[in-house]
Amino acid sequence: MFTSLAIPELPQELYLSDTVRQGEKRVAKLLGIPMYELMERAGESVFSVIQQRYEHCRRILVVTGTGNNGGDGYVVARLALMSGYKVTLWQVGSSQKISGDAKSAEQLFLSAGGKVQEPNFEVDDSIDLIVDGILGTGLTGKLRAYAESVITTLNKSSCPVISIDVPSGLDSDTGRQLGTTVKANATVTFIALKRGLVTAQARSHVGELLFAGLSIDRAFAYHSAPNALLTSSRWLDRLKVRAQDSHKGSHGRLLVVGGGDGMSGAAYLAAAASLRSGTGLLASIVHQSSCFPMRSLLPEAMVSDVEQLSERLEWCTSICVGVGLSRLDWGKNAYEAVMSRAYDMPKVIDADGLYWLAQDDLDARPIENTVITPHPGEAAMLLNCSVKDVEADRYLSIKKLCQKYRCVTVLKGAGTLISDGHKTVVCHAGNAGMATGGMGDVLAGVISSLLAQGYQPIEAAILGSVIHSMAADHNANTYGQVGMMASDVLGSVRHIINRLDD
């Protein structure tokens, strides 16, 4: 039985757009559902969002293209018109190019008394809500100038915007802009989640992502293999329950190697985050000038200079190397000591550690039991390309990083990706307040802590990313995003890892 409900609770499977396009045809045929019926259901789902979330909006501008996305828009326009809404419809592109099911939807709209107009240079002040149905998931190349001009007009309006399936101008496989892109307040996507809606520039254009399965989503998922997975708070169910008879030695011994001259703060943030994440014992090897600040900031840590590195490498069960390490000789020597004496030890390589990794001759060896945590700039350095290249297709970039270094990779950014080369996961938590110095050090500490506690690298990377991002969301919900510091997240890490919101 079909339900038009579009919900904020998202499935975890992510797909390539072509997989969805081909799969929906197969499933519709299998279930005996005409493709036009799916178009009607899509339009009904979007209209239900208008009725439930924008009940005060009675004057709607629907902007349609010439493809099936535009056909969905015509269904929305007809349903609104028949429900007493004042509907204005802009057709982008010649109506003579409309065919198939989209043509049927257009004719039904006209039969219901609807009128089609050419786009104007501005949105009329009387309009309460805009529905974007210009371009769909089939878009791959650069936008044409006419479509871009219309999208620019929509973006100038102060009206809320609902995008149908994908914001027009966005690549639904990569999340990058293919030109000027609609900035939606909400996007209603159908049947299955397209992987480009949850990472990269999509995070600034999708708005609230709502899902409508059109009552064929389960059948589609049964017959189609996902390309990646999307996290939710439910993923925290994978955390281990702490035994009531455990002691400090039961929860790992972590060694943080970093804190070069003048950069004790990075080592502190990673160390404190690891303790807040449950590490039993923590030691830190830092530059001599950083010993006193570290001891003052974190009395729970055992702090030493590099003379005790060999001893601590024998002592620890996991390592976090690179946070504030520096690109000077001291940092190089510390990095090389770790990699030569503890190559197979579970570890996180972050920040300046990634700089030294990029210079390292690994002899094509995999970095056993290792998680690397580059941001786009560091990923570009590791892949010897530009940041633009990395961000153009983050899924391809993380695949290349896994292939080159043969270890678990966390590609940070809007919609952080985690992969071991076989499974790719997108962290759906996090917010713009995290764009501040030291936040990556906290993440490195959380992941390192989980490694110390016995989690496998891919588990530690996924759970660490989720805990870190959810902690930032918890802090932002209390104090706001702007002004968030990395140290603000430390207390929230403890809150999240203890499941206090459950």
Confirm whether 47 is domain-assigned: yes
Indicate the residue among 172, 200, 225 that finishes a domain. 225
**Whole-angstrom Cα Rg for the chain:** 26
Percent of the chain with pLDDT over 90: 94
Q: What is the mean pLDDT of residues 365-376?
A: 89
Cα(161)–Cα(13) distance, rounded to whole angstroms? Answer: 26
Q: Tokens standing for 325?
A: 């390490």
Confirm whether 6 is domain-assigned: no
Are residues 209 and 347 both part of a single domain?
A: no
Are residues 81 and 178 both part of a single domain?
A: yes
Confirm whether 3 is domain-assigned: no
Are residues 347 and 480 both part of a single domain?
A: yes
Are residues 48 and 79 both part of a single domain?
A: yes
Annotated binding residue 136:
yes
Q: What is the mean pLDDT of residues 347-366?
A: 85
Annotated binding residue 377:
no
Annotated binding residue 415:
yes
Are residues 203 and 243 both part of a single domain?
A: no
Are residues 296 and 199 both part of a single domain?
A: no
Are residues 219 and 346 both part of a single domain?
A: no
Residues 317 and 249 sit within 8 Å (Cβ to Cβ): no
Helix (H) / strand (E) containing 347:
strand 347-349
Annotated binding residue 28:
no
Please choose, from the candidates 10, 392, 353, the residue with its C-alpha nearest in 3D space to the C-alpha of residue 176: 392
At residue 4 the predicted structure's pLDDT band, cuts being 50, 70 and 90, is low
Confirm whether 5 is domain-assigned: no
Residues 384 and 412 sit within 8 Å (Cβ to Cβ): no
Annotated binding residue 440:
yes
pLDDT of residue 365: 62
Annotated binding residue 464:
no
Query: Is the pLDDT at 316 greater than 90, yes or no?
Result: yes
What's the domain range around 420? 234-498
DSSP 251: G
How far, CA to CA in Å, does 498 sit from each of 427, 458, 501? 19, 21, 9
Indicate the residue among 161, 193, 225 that finishes a domain. 225
Are residues 240 and 221 both part of a single domain?
A: no
Across-strand partners of 87?
A: 60
Annotated binding residue 324:
yes
Annotated binding residue 71:
yes
Annotated binding residue 138:
yes
- For the chain, how many structural domains are there in total? 2
Q: What is the pLDDT of residues 92-106, one digit of tens each?
A: 999 999 999 999 999
How far, CA to CA in Å, does 242 sit from each of 58, 228, 246, 248, 497? 54, 30, 7, 11, 11
Query: Is the pLDDT at 2 greater than 90, yes or no?
Result: no
The rounded Cα 267 to chain-centroid distance in angstroms is 26
What's 252's domain CATH number?
3.40.1190.20
pTM, rounded to two decimals: 0.96
Across-strand partners of 117?
A: 90
**DSSP annotation string for 73-121:** HHHHHHHHHHTT-EEEEEE-S-GGG--HHHHHHHHHHHHTT--EE---S
Helix (H) / strand (E) containing 490:
helix 488-497
How far, CA to CA in Å, does 388 sit from each of 99, 177, 205, 309, 398? 37, 12, 18, 38, 14
Q: Tokens standing for 464?
A: 């660490």
At residue 439 the predicted structure's pLDDT band, cuts being 50, 70 and 90, is very high
How far, CA to CA in Å, does 29 sit from each of 26, 75, 168? 5, 22, 28
Annotated binding residue 73:
no
At residue 502 the predicted structure's pLDDT band, cuts being 50, 70 and 90, is confident
Annotated binding residue 430:
no
Query: What b/e sequence results for 411-444 when a residue is b if at least 16 CB atoms lie within 10 Å of its CB, and e otherwise?
Result: bbbbbbbbbbbeebbbbbbbbebbebebbbbbbb
Annotated binding residue 384:
no
In the three-class reduction of DSSP (H, G, I as helix; E, B as strand; rest coil), residue 39 is classed as helix
Are residues 185 and 283 both part of a single domain?
A: no
Are residues 202 and 244 both part of a single domain?
A: no
Q: What is the pLDDT of residues 395-432, one digit of tens each?
A: 999 999 999 999 999 999 999 999 999 999 999 999 99
Annotated binding residue 142:
yes
Q: Tokens standing for 350?
A: 């972050």
pLDDT of residue 24: 97
Are residues 287 and 198 both part of a single domain?
A: no
Annotated binding residue 137:
yes
Confirm whether 111 is domain-assigned: yes
DSSP 343: T
Residues 6 or more apart in contact with residue 328 via CB below 8 angstroms: 260, 261
Residue carrying the six token digits 């007009």: 153
Annotated binding residue 70:
yes
Are residues 84 and 176 both part of a single domain?
A: yes
Output phi, psi for 372, to 5 deg: -105, 145
Residues 333 and 306 sit within 8 Å (Cβ to Cβ): yes
Annotated binding residue 68:
yes
Annotated binding residue 264:
no
